[in-house]
A and B are shown apart, each in its own frame.
Chain A
């Protein structure tokens, strides 16, 4: 091979083919294709990527992501490259996926007339029968999924309970309606599905300083500061009011003890807010404390606990936060106990036979 041939052959190497007639390309071409595909892919998916950036936890990563994806979305929109995605989402019936909805739509708190220091009238113990079942909606962040499924399973044993599918949404909460707007969703569910009992569990992703959907002019301090507590309390109370004013009863499952003591302390702060808001709505809302159900003999976190027959069972998931099935079953028992207390779910059994 002559000296002059070498540069030519390096620039234009002999073509090679793999099985099935595939042409092999250079590593440089691989880098160019990958970069080109990612670049164009980013532009085509810009609305979704921008939403993902905005829903990240607060911090420098989110700031950088927003600084990059904002202009990306503008360019995508200017070049009409966001249209195919919008069209595809519309075909799939998911047009709202890329929308960022931060409106905290909750009823205005009812102010008591002056001088009315008396407690609200007692709530009637409504009777349910196999023909008129108690509809139960179970919703919340990822923590509610396992207990929710346990409630569904336990409810199968009663002909008067009608649980709707568990509506558990990973990484959501009340702090970040931009990620998933529970306030809007809850109103829709109360209107369309009309559940009489609503089992909620929130807060697992809310132990941070950052909130979206704040009212105009309102700023909040760090987690557990008076301003943070006031806003979080407004949201918890607002959810409860949305349900109770639609005639529903709320069972709010408290956050559990976790493997991280600092996280447990933050969860305690959230639990305190929920507990006090539930106490303001006797007969209409109920707070279910889970702390001691899942504490070990020393009062601390325990992944394994003995069940009724003394067998050690895994109660908590490996992440030290979520529940395993036996823990869900334990919570389900307590939730159903509350529902049996609140409603008449058994007297239908005593009705005279019509034979």
Chain B
């Protein structure tokens, strides 16, 4: 059930009033919300509901067991089993075939034909997101940051439909306390919710879909058929497409949760205005970045064990981040580019005699430009279906200047400019729009939103393309 569909609109218009009606009675609200979330998830494939239920029971049992033990070794052992189970589940569904084919191919280079069987496993939607949330729950319990919640609350936390299939990756400490007390139905941040839903819809349905069909898909489908200008604009267009697609989805998720009375953490903060790769990762998919920081980078030693170990940890964290996005070597390469860039930036700042110069507009602009180019270079590997395609894209960037570029239209350039330009808007502008909207009469608010629906539906293509991040 995709957010920008009539089916979801009907589902949500049933869930929203019922949720508020049941809210004062937590004992009824939680089963209702779990049921609603499972219906939402079952709309893809009801079999996967069993997987979500298994993950819920597994992690609840282990969190409880960890909490009951006081012996550090027993606690560590239980944590190890719990996380291993989560990783095994994710590994089986997401990486089994990748592992088998990679192993088979590595040995076949040496002339050894391993009798390994590919299982053709279907990837359950959202498994990467809810598995990471489950891991953070048991790890936080182990660290003593959090007392295990009753089963109903944990099941609601893990399955809550606004974040279920593509995040944001909400930490237990951010959502579970909100389940403790009923949300106050008198004070809902509706203007922010509607703003996020409307802009998220527009980003996904109009900007992302338009750029994908107009230039990104043709360029990455057959790079050698396109001029250097088309390839360059195609790469920039993909940067905007993936931002509009993913941030559009999470904006909608945050807005939908807000209408239900719950606050989710921010997931994007103008990532293409970043002045370094480190800054980029503080702004792009922020809930994944901090998950990787807290559950991978810091446990590996972070920056506490010397410079070389820090560089290694940065690289390992980004490689895991790359692999999290997809079972393919191009995703690993994407992670490696970011890991190398992060380590290089760190080395540059830590070299002897380095003095941080004050930020001037020119220097800030230059850093933003260079960072954006590095990010776009990495996106080439992320979007390409193979290294051969990535190589073709890169070669074509330099070898076909002066050829006709019919795909570079005014509409494409305008959509890219809007996608990047929107990230340089001062925050006071959206705040002012939301404030003004919030002061309108409810009837006027409905009219404004209906007009936004008209614009989105009329300008978007027929049908709805799947979200890029559903694959992850």
Contacts and interface: CB of A to CB of B under 8 A. Distances in A.
- Indicate the size class of the contact surface on chain B: 35 or more
A156 B389 contact: no
A26 interface: yes
Contacts of A314: 97, 101
B446 A40 contact: yes
Contacts of B453: 37-38, 41, 44-45
Nearest to A259: B120
B189 interface: yes
A303 B118 contact: yes
Given A149-B221, A304-B118, A324-B385, A31 B435 contact: no
Given A20-B428, A41-B449, A149-B221, A31 B17 contact: yes
Interface stretch (A165-173, A182-190, A282-290): A165-173
B16 A149 contact: no
Interface in A19-38: 19-38
B193 A30 contact: yes
Contacts of A45: 453-454, 457-458
A13 interface: yes
Nearest to B406: A165
B149 interface: no
Nearest to B183: A27
Interface residues of A, number: 66
A166 B226 CA distance: 13
A156 B97 contact: no
Interface in A21-78: 21-41, 44-45, 48-49, 51-52
Contacts of A259: 120
B225 A156 contact: yes
Given A165-B218, A171-B463, A88 B225 contact: no
A148 B223 CA distance: 13
B303 interface: no
B9 interface: yes
A310 B12 CA distance: 50
Given A19-B431, A310-B108, A318-B122, A36 B446 contact: yes
Contacts of A318: 122-123
18 contacts: A19-B431, A24-B187, A28-B185, A34-B259, A36-B447, A37-B453, A38-B450, A45-B454, A51-B462, A145-B221, A149-B222, A152-B225, A156-B224, A301-B120, A304-B97, A304-B120, A311-B105, A325-B386
3 closest Cβ pairs, A-B complex? A36-B446, A20-B431, A149-B221
Given A22-B434, A313-B101, A324-B385, 19 more contacts: A20-B434, A29-B190, A35-B13, A35-B446, A36-B447, A37-B447, A37-B449, A41-B453, A84-B454, A88-B454, A88-B458, A92-B459, A153-B392, A155-B225, A166-B221, A310-B113, A312-B101, A312-B108, A318-B123
Interface of A: 10, 13, 16, 18-41, 44-45, 48-49, 51-52, 84-85, 88-89, 92, 97, 145-146, 148-150, 152-153, 155-156, 163, 165-166, 170-171, 259, 301, 303-304, 310-314, 318, 320, 324-325
